[in-house]
Structure 1
Amino acid sequence: MADVLVGSERRVLISGYGYGLPPQPPPPPPAESQLLGRLDQIDLRVRSDLMDRLNLLESRIRQLSSELDLDVGGKAAGHAAHQLVLGTSSSVPPVEDPATCGAQTPPTPSSFTPKDSFLIDCGGTAPLTADGKSYKTDAQANHLLSATDAIRVAADDKADVPSPLYATARVFKEEAVYSFPLTVPGWHFIRLYFFPLKGGDVDLASVTFSVVTDDNVLLHSFTPGDKPVMNEYLVNATENHLALKFQPLSGSAAFVNAIEVVNAPDELVTDSALAVAPLGEITGLVHDAYQVLYRINVGGPAIGPAKDTLGRRWETDAAYVQSKEAVKDVSVPTSTIRFPEGTSRLVAPALVYASAARMADADVGSPNFNLTWKVDVDPSFSYLVRLFFADIVSKATNDLYFDVYIGGRKAVSGLDLSTVAGGELAAPYYKDFVVNSSLLEDGKLSVQVGPMGQDTGRIDALLNGMEVLKMSNSVGSLDGEFGVDGQKADDGSGGRKAVAAVGFAMMFGAFAGLGAMVVKWYKRPQDWERRESFSSWLLPIHTGQSFTGKGSRYGSKSGNTFSSTMGLGRFFSFAEIQAATQNFDEKAIIGVGGFGNVYVGEIDDGTKVAVKRGSAESEQGINEFNTEIQMLSKLRHRHLVSLIGYCDENQEMILVYEYMHNGVFRDHIYGSEGKAPLPWKQRLEICIGAARGLHYLHTGTAQGIIHRDVKTTNILLDDNFVAKVSDFGLSKDGPGMNQLHVSTAVKGSFGYLDPEYFRCQQLTDKSDVYSFGVVLLEALCARPPIDPQLPREQVSLAEWGMQWKRKGLIEKIMDPKLAGTVNPESLAKFAETAEKCLAEFGSDRISMGDVLWNLEYALQLQDANPPEGARQGGDGDDQDGAAAAGGGGAVVPAGGAVPDASTAAAGELFQQLADMQGR
């Protein structure tokens, strides 16, 4: 990799030799070094042109070698091309990549020759070539035009027009129709050029007219103004002809400078895409018409029609990228881009995939922001957004994961380009999204990419290109609310097909479900313990997004296999849950919470799971059951407990999680239930893991998620003691863009609750930070957060711990079992972090990202100079009894178990203050 200075802008150029493959001997130094040396001295346009010529030579060399039956690989061709361009030679041949030796799969076509190609220079009298295209004159295309009164207008001085295409025009005072005979029905580009030339008896800058096809309104009551305009459309012609009608407003006129009607490859538009709100698949896209609003080469130069086999124009992202200082442009030679077998080379040119924008500080820190682009759109329409990706920054596969947001909503979580693009780096991949007006803010559509979170590989994100296409509404219009026949569009028509389909399906499903209920009631089983009550069928719970029968809020059943209709994980039948837990055997109980009991169970081939069964007496009930499912279904992170599935039959509320072999963090702090207390380094690592999970919660979605119940019993440990945050039943979405907090009733757990949240009932992510500060002190001191049996000044761990911190004597209250094992500098940084978490006001507290950074630094300090006791692997003084007053062991009974009486007393004390309950 090499930095190339282009003007005043530094970009990264990555050599195409052996990129993303096992290490190979470097290419011949003379050619490579001289190429980079020359690139340092030329601007971006020249560099782009040079690289294109280089790629063309490379392709030509391969072709010639094939004709001459020579075995010349890709790198050898590239080396020969370098020699031809630079006039250099080398006696050292490049090494052929073993991964590419042997027979190659024939690539998909990289060029496209249209069967229908009508290019008309309206008003032109001589053949015209512009942007690599040859346009016919009016006389040559006259047989296509039906008009009673067509006036030719030409510019007095061609120097006054922005392009030769705008130098002449055809003006119509009555409806004029261009009829194009089509060789192949299907997708066709329509490009219309408008520039109001001066001269004649009509002021073209103020005329008003419409342009329609037989099925679609392209322009309605259009007034061009005094700027050049090129509108591009994509329509699916179903007949063997296409009519283009120019309709002037009464008393006005219509005009056009140039017209293009060119067929496009079928793969350019697929029938389905991912709808962003609500999230799900939408179909029927081939029946829409589209207007191309933006076609952007992110991180790279503008691409003209001559460099795109479909004649498209790509602009730079300079006008749309936000916070430019956070973005770093990168590029590679187009020869680096590898199209997997079956991947279309026509959807976007290789030049788009060969450049990208990535996070500017991805290599030096832990960024928690998103790269953002915003474009102006009409909020009364829906949009097809196509994003282009190619991982040109990673050095190994499965190293880059990031999230994609459209309109502020997470559209893709944990995108792994090397996997979706066929297991290779620098392989093209694109994804289509449908966005409705609900995601548009002040006429702006935003596209964002950002890191998925910690411990998911490289902290980075990238985007190579994007297209934004306006979708026709329910009456086929792309401009205005009326169709060709004058019919008015439905309200919210952007999602018309999906809504109509869902509405019909719901109506049909309701009748079918009612009939099924009646039949099943008469055939109901007599096994009273396992049967489904009639009331549970008759009163299903609605989530606002789906409805299915059989007593399930989320799932549907096909045969013996249950599946979620909302991507919420596996649906378990109640019988499966009973079998997994031995009919809820009390011996299988591994935990008890406010929601209910937690059982260990086995499913399928013996996989261990944790089964949380909601209690009928639980005050938390259905709301938290729904919250837990919906939160965990959209969250995936190494430090968050994974939801496997759920069951909501028989009025049950059951959640099934991955099994965490080492239980809760709290037990390992106190050494309860026969567990040995953890050494300092392991406690630090667990705190770091939990901080990573919380940091992902706070930053991994557009609004962020606030956990609201952070405590040591909600931090679970797997068989390798990796920490995972659990229990999301109280979680809330964070404040929106224009909010500072979420106003909500107080919920949480005693001793961990943010006092500012308690006073003001205003929730922010800093409430989680406060709770985590208590967790840090608990990990350090090995005592519960609240113990009413102690003297008044020691009841609250947070207050008591901060008193000793301010005295500079935090080591006095440290767990005696850690004595002699903690580096003083590590302890000081840890205590300082806890203090910053426990600040009285949320605005004074640090973020979870800062907490994470500080804890990682504390771990580095511990590793750099571990005390003698830590090097010997001991736990310090192995004291079983209580330590002296003031020490952490003073409040932990023999054996390290937490006194149940203390916990109960704390609960009674705080129940008198507020009706709040943790889990």
Structure 2
Amino acid sequence: MEMENSRWKKNRYAIGVQFLSLSFQSSASTGSMATAIFLLALSLAFPSASLSAVSFSPKDNILIVCGANSLVNLPDGRIFKSDTGSGGHLQAKDSVQLLTDSGDNLPSPLCRTARIFQSDATYSFQLTGAGWHWLRLHFYPINNSKYDLKTAVFSVTTDDAVLLHRFSIDTNQTTGHIVKEYLLNVTKPQINLMFVPVSNSFAFINAVEVVSAPDYLISNSGSSLFPVQAYEGLNQFNYQYVYRLNVGGPPITSQNDTLGRSWENDESYIKNKAVAANVSVPAMVVKFPEDFPALIAPAFVYSSAVRMADAETQQPNFNITWEFKADPNFDHMVRLHFCDILSKSLSDLYFNVYINGKMAISGLDLSSITNGLAVPYYKDIVVNSTLMSNGLTIQIGPMNQDTGSVNAILNGVEVLKMSSSVNSLDGEFGVDGKRASTSNKSTVAAVGFAMMFGAFVGLGAMVMKWHKRPQDWQKSNSFSSWLLPVHAGDTSFMSGSKTSLGSQKSALYSTTPGLGRYFSFAEIQEATKNFDPSGIIGVGGFGNVYLGTIDEGTLVAIKRGNPHSEQGITEFQTEIQMLSKLRHRHLVSLIGYCDENSEMILVYEYMSNGPFRDHIYGKNLPPLSWKQRLEICIGSARGLHYLHTGTAQGIIHRDVKTTNILLDDNLVAKVADFGLSKDAAIGQGHVSTAVKGSFGYLDPEYFRRQQLTEKSDVYSFGVVLLEALCARPALDTQLPREQVNLAEWAMQWKRKGLLAKIIDPHLQGSINPESLKKFAEAAEKCLAEHGVDRPSMGDVLWNLEYALQLQEAFTQGKTEDDSEKSPESMATSPAVVSPLPGEPVVESRELETETRGNGLADIQNTEHSGTNMFAQFAHLEGR
């Protein structure tokens, strides 16, 4: 107890000294030195004001200095015992005690000695309680004539966790004193720390700390970065602290932290120091709520911060950026500390937080969350390893809306590496030699929660629709009511409640020729053999799709809606609105409708070859050639380009995916399923709407901001292009975690210049490299993070046509090389330009111009000629 009291007094004194320096920082600008001294006196007299009045006495406090024969006292008051004969901690066959040959110029008293192991060795520590424990390993390559510790290579494990795998000292370290800090959730009464040197090497250690941590230090809940969803199960991992920063303030040593932690200053991590400014207040100003876990961070972390520099606050897209190195093979938890010490009034500061370029927190209003100013707040965010190929960046920036001060603030950052599926924190193997599993809990959880979120969004939309239903909806004898949105401007059709069904049908047919032919319910029953279940070719939230036969042999797809499904009614209304004004040879055509007996039935052209998806994976169908895939992608792009530009307002499909691209007898692609489509807003850049669509294809900007644009379709189409190239689903949770999301995985390979290694094996050797390059560039542009950086569908179409032209020239060249050509044929064949290395193979400029011209003319063709092939929604699944 005396030792604890002594440490408390020393900590209070040290905190007072640091507090004085912070007070001087705060007061220097106003010249009020007397105020600073007065505040120092208050902090010493009432230390709880600046320390949140919480102390912590660890149940386990095992401090070992290795290789020493006596106690070692640290400046923070902690006392380290020798590992020589101290209760049987060490079990080693051939350990060596090492003493430095240098003088007293050492970074820490713990660096004077070391313990060397030339074979496997174990430290065993008895614990008084389970729960979270800090494990800190100190390494310092002391100078010794016999052993060069910088050459040591070894691994460190516990009974069930890998801490270090083939570890060696980084000679680029400035001080050479390395502290590896872990937070382990210990469930056994003893922790065994094993050192395993590699062959022909040895292991070493300077000091070990095993100290109990507060149970609340890691809560069970946090958030995932993308999509931003709740994340459960954080206390099921082990962690390694990678960074701990006091943002905007001086370093905090173990002397000034009740839990003995060290906090770096953040200055060396800021990308552009000129755009950031430090701000600080006296620590006693920080107000810890009663329910806040006060030891999460010291008051000094919350009493200093970085804000936007005054000269930059008027720039609309300005952010402050911190950059960190991070292991891309592991998920990381980022803990962000906030405390609004900047604002003078409530709800004056709104700002955004980004991690690796993705929105982590949108419109953060600290005063609303904490119900006050200068009140601490922190947030834990899990960043999946697939997002960390280029390290870790944290950014803060204003909302750029009329919401108060144009500023942003950050007080502290902690970055923790999370253990893998085999409980490893270094390397891919666990203690038992098992490799990390192919599935990843964080990825599966994120996808699961994302699907749950989508379900709630859909449920909310259904509830809103239900409350907006017509008052006489139950009295309706026909389903003409679902056609009414098409005739919203037809007053004669809407006038009078006594209009007969026959007159409604007459008005319907005469005023809306886009709806096509009217079918009686008897005709529909005959076409589907009374809705024979064996004729079902598709199922969705709207109901079933049947294969039918009309007019003595013409096949059609008959979509029968469920009147009791709110989703069905909504999607049928949208579908009829869209198809009544659309006609293009790359859009599935509406043939007619039936609205008898409260039925909602639409009749489409039948697409005999079904969804594009079935031809690239999932079915045992003959593989498509690269040219066929390009032609299908081009047809789909033409259909989407027409949607975006072919009507006065423009239409956003909102559910572009390979199951909604159908193929006819000749493999001509047609875009289908307009149940989620939206009219684009005239004169506006976006449509504000609830997020709908299919996961794996969702535009991340649309997901974050709920603002729909035609560029959302462009993003989804980029995923379709990658499916066509790689022959795999957009999301596959059975694959290794870095491969779950096709768009992210393929773009990683694209940036490495190795995309050709992950394409469909059926295409290997048959693709012109320049055609592949142009195709990949088109896909990459479609998948740009921000919609403004994505091309229009017209630009995408042109690039795909160019890729096809390159492929045809390549194929023609191979054919000519494989066959003997007569002089006459050589004279009449089109000229092929021999490119320089790295340039694409193309035919003459006239051919390129002609091809592009035909494509653009084709896009603008909105007329649809008669056809004997009719629409199928085969194998469509509910969203």
Q: CA deviation at 1:187?
A: 0.3
Q: CA 1:705/1:186 → structure 2, altered by over 3 Å: closer, same or farther?
A: closer
Are 1:465 and 2:412 matched, yes or no?
yes
> Which among 32, 54, 67 is matched to residue 123 of structure 1?
67
1:572 aligns with one of 463, 486, 491: 463
What are the superposed Cα offsets for residues 374-398 of structure 1, whole Å, 9 maximum, x if unpaired? 1001111110111010111111111
Q: What per-residue deviation string (whole Å, max 9, x for no partner) do you get for residues 786-820 of structure 1?
A: xxxxxxxxxxxxxxxxxxxxxxxxxxxxxxxxxxx
C-alpha spacing 1:573/1:108, structure 2 compared with 1 (3 Å): same
**DSSP 3-state at the match of 1:618:** helix
Q: Would the alpha carbon gap of residues 705 and 727 (structure 1) be closer, same or farther in structure 2, given more than 3 Å must change?
A: closer
Alignment of 1:402-421 (within 5 A): 402-421=351-370
Which residue is 2:298 aligned to? 349
Structure 1 unaligned runs (5+)?
1-5, 16-30, 40-49, 63-73, 79-106, 506-544, 548-553, 557-562, 598-609, 632-649, 658-663, 667-689, 695-702, 708-723, 748-756, 763-909
Map Cα deviations across residues 632-659 of structure 1 (whole Å, 9 max, x no partner).
xxxxxxxxxxxxxxxxxx99548899xx
2:125 & 2:393 partners in 1: Cα distance? 37
1:110 to 54, 74, 94: 54
User: Does the Cα contact within 8 Å between 2:133 and 2:212 map onto a contact in 1?
Assistant: yes
Alpha-carbon distance in structure 1 between the residues aligned to 2:105 and 2:378: 40
User: Over residues 856-887 of structure 1, what are the superposed CA-to-partner deviations in whole Å (9 max), with x where a residue is unaligned?
Assistant: xxxxxxxxxxxxxxxxxxxxxxxxxxxxxxxx
Query: Cα deviations across residues 113-163 of structure 1 (Å, max 9, x unaligned)?
Result: 111001111122332222412211234635222222221101123434322
Of the candidates 117, 123, 140, which is equivalent to residue 178 of structure 1? 123
Which whole-Å CA distance do the structure 1 matches of 2:122 and 2:707 have between them? 66
Q: 1:306 to 1:382 in 2, by over 3 A?
A: same
Q: 2:790 matched to which residue of 1?
A: 742
Cα distance, 1:289–1:656 mapped onto 2, change above 3 Å: farther
Structure 2 CA distance for aligned equivalents of residues 655 and 692 of structure 1: 11
- Give the conservation status (yes or no) of the 8 Å contact 2:23–2:39: no
Q: Secondary structure at the match of 2:88?
A: helix
Q: Which residue of 1 aligns with 2:33?
A: 36
1:432 equivalenced with 2:380 (yes/no): yes
The code of the aligned residue for 2:92 comes to A
Is the contact between residue 612 and residue 655 of structure 1 (CA under 8 Å) also seen in structure 2? no
Is the 2:687–2:709 contact (alpha carbons within 8 Å) kept by the matching residues of 1?
no
For residue 244 of structure 1, give the secondary structure of its aligned residue in structure 2: strand
Residue type at the aligned position of 1:36: M
2: CA distance, partners of 1:693 / 1:358:
33
Structure 1 partner of 2:209: 260
Match in the other structure for 1:330: 279
Separation in structure 1 between the aligned mates of residue 244 and residue 860 of structure 2, nearest angstrom:
56
Instruction: Compare relative contact order (CA 8 Å, sep 6+) and give the higher one, 1 or 2.
Output: 2
Is the alpha carbon distance of 1:587 and 1:324 closer, same or farther for their aligned partners in structure 2, counting shifts above 3 Å?
same
- CA distance, structure 2, for counterparts of residue 581 and residue 395 of structure 1: 55
Equivalent-residue separation in structure 2 for 1:129 and 1:465 (angstroms)? 30
Query: Contact 1:11 / 1:328 at 8 angstroms: preserved in 2?
Result: no
Which of 125, 131, 147 aligns to 1:202? It is: 147
CA distance in 1, matches of 2:384, 2:360: 13
CA, structure 1 residues 653+251, in 2 after alignment: closer, same or farther (shift >3 Å)? Answer: closer
Show the counterpart of 1:484. Answer: 431
Query: Residues 37 and 691 (structure 1 numbering): CA distance in 2 closer, same or farther, change over 3 Å?
Result: farther
1:227-282 CA-partner distances (Å, limit 9, x unpaired): 32110000000111111111122332111001111010011101122111233222
Distance change >3 Å, CA 409–CA 158, structure 1 → 2: same
- Name the CA shift for 1:727/1:344 in 2 (closer, same or farther; >3 Å): closer
Q: Which residue does the alignment assign to 2:199? A: 250
- CA drift of 1:367 comes to 3.4
Q: CA deviation at 1:483?
A: 0.5
Deviation at 1:691, TM superposition (A): 9.7
Structure 1 CA distance, aligned partners of 2:320 and 2:243?
A: 18
Letter matched to residue 793 of structure 2: A
Question: What does 1:435-446 align with in structure 2 at a 5 Å threshold?
Answer: 435-442=383-390, 444-446=391-393
Q: Deviation digits for residues 824-850 of structure 1, max 9, x if unmatched?
A: xxxxxxxxxxxxxxxxxxxxxxxxxxx
Q: Partner of 1:233: helix, strand, or coil? A: strand
Say if 2:574 is the partner of 1:614.
yes
Aligned to 1:546: 451
Classify 1:230/1:706 alpha carbon distance in 2 versus 1 (closer, same or farther; 3 Å).
Answer: closer
Give, in whole Å, the separation in 2 of the partners of 1:626 and 1:240: 65
Identify if the C-alpha distance between structure 1 residues 439 and 911 changes in structure 2 by more than 3 Å, giving closer, same or farther.
same
Which residue identity lines up with residue 133 of structure 2 in the other structure? Answer: H
* Structure 2 Cα separation of the partners of residues 239 and 591 of structure 1: 74
The answer to whether the 8 A contact 1:290-1:470 is kept is yes
Aligned partners of 1:451 and 1:477: how far apart in 2?
A: 38
User: Which residue is equivalent to 1:448?
Assistant: 395
Task: Assess if the C-alpha contact under 8 Å between 2:572 and 2:675 holds in 1.
Answer: no
Q: Distance in 1 between matches of 2:486 and 2:326?
A: 57
Secondary structure of the residue that 1:546 maps to in structure 2? helix
In structure 2, relative to structure 1, the CA distance for the partners of 1:187 and 1:362 (3 Å cut) is farther
Match of 1:498 among 445, 458, 475: 445
1:352-391 alignment, distance < 5 Å: 352-361=301-310, 365-391=314-340
Q: 1:164 to 1:656 in 2, by over 3 A?
A: farther
Residue 524 (structure 1) aligns with: none
Distance 1:591 1:155, change over 3 A: farther
Q: Residue 43 of structure 2 aligns with which residue?
A: 56
- The structural deviation recorded for 1:415 is 1.0
User: In 2 relative to 1, CA 411–252 (structure 1 residues): closer, same or farther, beyond 3 Å?
Assistant: same
1:675-694 matches, cutoff 5 A: none
CA deviation after TM superposition for structure 1 residue 428, in Å = 0.5
Deviation of the 1:361 alpha carbon:
2.8
Note if contact 1:120-1:259 (Cα within 8 Å) is conserved in structure 2.
Answer: yes
Q: Secondary structure at the match of 1:578?
A: coil
The residue aligned with 1:712 is none
CA offset at residue 287 of structure 1?
Answer: 1.6
Q: Secondary structure at the match of 1:306?
A: coil
Give the distance between the partners of 1:396 and 1:238, measured in 2 at CA: 47
- How has the CA–CA distance of structure 1 residues 54 and 314 changed in structure 2, closer, same or farther, with 3 Å as cutoff? farther
From 70, 83, 89, the equivalent of 1:138 is 83
- Aligned-pair identity in percent equals 37
Give the distance between the partners of 1:255 and 1:370, measured in 2 at CA: 44
The amino acid of 2:183's aligned partner reads L
Displacement of 1:579: 3.7
Which of the two has greater helix per residue?
A: 2
What is the CA–CA distance in structure 1 between the aligned matches of 2:424 and 2:130, rounded to whole Å?
20
Q: Do 1:108 and 1:341's aligned partners in 2 also have CA atoms closer than 8 Å?
A: no
Contact 1:746 1:761 in 2 (8 A): no
Query: Is the 8 Å Cα contact of residues 12 and 330 (structure 1) preserved in structure 2?
Result: no
- 1:305 aligns to what? 254
1:519-538 equivalence runs, <5 A: none
Superposed CA offset, 1:350-389 (max 9, x none): 1111111111137862432111111001111110111010
CA contact (8 A) 1:390 1:427 kept: yes
Look up the equivalent residue of 1:341 and give its one-letter code.
E
For 1:352, what is the secondary structure of its paired residue?
A: helix
If the length of structure 1 is used for normalisation, what is the TM-score?
Answer: 0.52
Shift of 1:211: 0.7
Contact 1:628 1:727 survives alignment (8 Å): no
Aligned residue number for residue 161 of structure 2: 216
From the superposition, tell whether residues 260 and 555 of structure 1 become closer, same or farther in structure 2 (CA, over 3 Å): closer
Q: Distance in 2 between matches of 1:360 and 1:580?
A: 58
Q: Aligned equivalents of 1:630 and 1:317: distance in 2?
A: 44
Q: Distance in 2 between matches of 1:590 and 1:57?
A: 75
